[in-house]
Chain A
């Protein structure tokens, strides 16, 4: 007797589609899933459109969605909003890349070597607890009103989520797995590469997703305070000029940017962590 008869894996190894399942039934299942997941969102948008066209709310404040879509289309077709998207992506992209390039290696180092963490932790806590927006005037004085100060203030706020998540990920690696690797004679480097690094990847991605959100948040704040281009500037500017549909168009673009960044990171995480249950 072998054990195969006794235990069956708790999760099926392959998800074959049900044999003989009709296309119609599958279509219905997809529709039901879609409704349960996106029904409320669709209802919200329909309510917005109806409330605005029927005059339940002032269309000047909440314009109907078709007006917003038209403003969005005009902005993109004329190229005006495209420039704003490009400059906003550039600012947040450079800052985010800088935070990743510094934050992940520094986090791995601090998580691995307690002496480094002990020495750096107090100053990092001080920096982290000081609002980046409060420091923005300081950065402007130091770096000028140009692109550098904007990118730097975004970088400043974006660094901490990924750094702290990386440190946390490294420190939370199961010591029993490290001990197991040691009993097979693994060197320090091998333990780091084969155990600590892969074990930290899920927490690093949590940090990356938080950092991406922070980057967009700070982008808008920086662009509202001292810029003449960019999506954040466009939101403020459209409001000053009472171009409310254009304002909402810029807001929707920002939301789309956030969703896209999250989607890219989640897809990347699921690719890298096929061993874990999929993240959402």
Chain B
């Protein structure tokens, strides 16, 4: 039963999903009849030009927005609103400035009614995992951007989600920190084996992390394309297979 359960954890099915916004009284369709299957424990990257609906898709998966039509099933159950099996990592760390680093990491458990002592114990574990154990008593304003983002990642992991939704999580970081963070995320994924759905505009990031890449196009009538990334892990950015994959993905965007 336990094994069976963990095999099921984090499976996402999207069926006939559509969403449009009204812009100056014109309906602007960003997602049209999208079908998508995400296996439990895989990393799926969503890429596409800005305005293609990748963030909208992620926000629907998170339960922060409702689709016009279609449905999302998680482990067979339809999604209605936010849920405990999902956690979101945003582009900004979104830490609460009045809580210490440790209490920020324990925040998700606290609002779910876990006793404070137990919450802090679990928070310490994930703070160690992101390499910030020494900073548990610090205030968020004392952290650099990369450190704050790692606190945000620890906070999301602490609630032990089956699915981690990441909305351009490293978009605001400098190139050096970004590469280190991508390696950290790959390591965390190896240890935790959660399903990750990652929105990014960085093709290299998508290839470095993902098992499959979903390419959305600006025109929502164009069907979305799925590309398998068959590269051994841990991945090397300068290896020929990696470079070839990057070239192929860039060709999808007409960037040669």
Contact = CB atoms under 8 A, between A and B. Distances in A.
A4 B147 CA distance: 9
Interface string A244-277: 0000000000000000000000000000011111
B138 A9 contact: yes
B177 A13 contact: no
Contacts of A273: 98
Interface in A190-214: 190, 194-195, 198-199, 201
A1 B138 contact: no
A190 B138 CA distance: 23
B84 interface: yes
Interface string A5-29: 0111111010000000000000000
A186 interface: yes
Contacts of B142: 9-11, 13
B98 A198 contact: yes
Contact of A3 (B92, B97, B141, B177): B177
B169 to A, nearest CB: 13
Given A7-B144, A190-B111, A275 B139 contact: yes
B144 A8 contact: yes
B99 A180 contact: no
Chain A contact residues (Cβ within 8 angstroms of B): what range?
20 to 34
A8 B111 CA distance: 31
User: Which of A179, A274, A277 lies at the interface centre, i.e. has the most chain B CB atoms within 10 A of its CB?
Assistant: A179
Contacts of B140: 275
Given A10-B144, A183-B62, A3 B150 contact: yes
A10 B135 CA distance: 13
A109 interface: no
Contacts of B181: 3
A182 B88 CA distance: 10
A7 B146 contact: yes
B167 to A, nearest CB: 11
A182 to B, nearest CB: 6
Query: B interface, how many residues as a size bin?
Result: 35 or more
A123 B97 CA distance: 35
Contacts, number: 92
Contacts of B138: 9, 13
Interface in B91-147: 92, 94, 96-99, 107-108, 110-112, 131, 134-135, 137-144, 146-147
A9 B138 CA distance: 10
A146 to B, nearest CB: 44
B189 interface: no
B84 A6 contact: no
B64 A184 contact: no
B90 A11 contact: no
A184 B108 contact: yes
A42 interface: no
Given A9-B135, A184-B107, A190-B111, A275 B82 contact: no
A3 B143 CA distance: 12
A276 B139 CA distance: 9
Given A6-B180, A275-B97, A185 B111 contact: yes
B184 interface: yes
Interface in A173-190: 176-177, 179-187, 190
A2 interface: yes
A186 B99 CA distance: 16
A161 to B, nearest CB: 23
B82 A276 contact: no
Given A6-B177, A177-B94, A276-B98, 18 more contacts: A4-B134, A6-B146, A6-B180, A7-B147, A9-B135, A9-B143, A177-B96, A182-B64, A183-B62, A183-B86, A183-B87, A184-B82, A184-B87, A184-B108, A194-B111, A275-B139, A275-B140, A277-B141
24 contacts: A2-B131, A3-B177, A3-B181, A3-B184, A7-B147, A7-B177, A11-B141, A11-B142, A13-B138, A13-B142, A177-B94, A177-B96, A179-B64, A179-B94, A180-B88, A180-B94, A181-B111, A183-B64, A184-B111, A187-B111, A194-B107, A275-B139, A276-B141, A277-B141
What 3 pairs between A and B have smallest CB-CB spacing? A184-B108, A186-B111, A7-B144
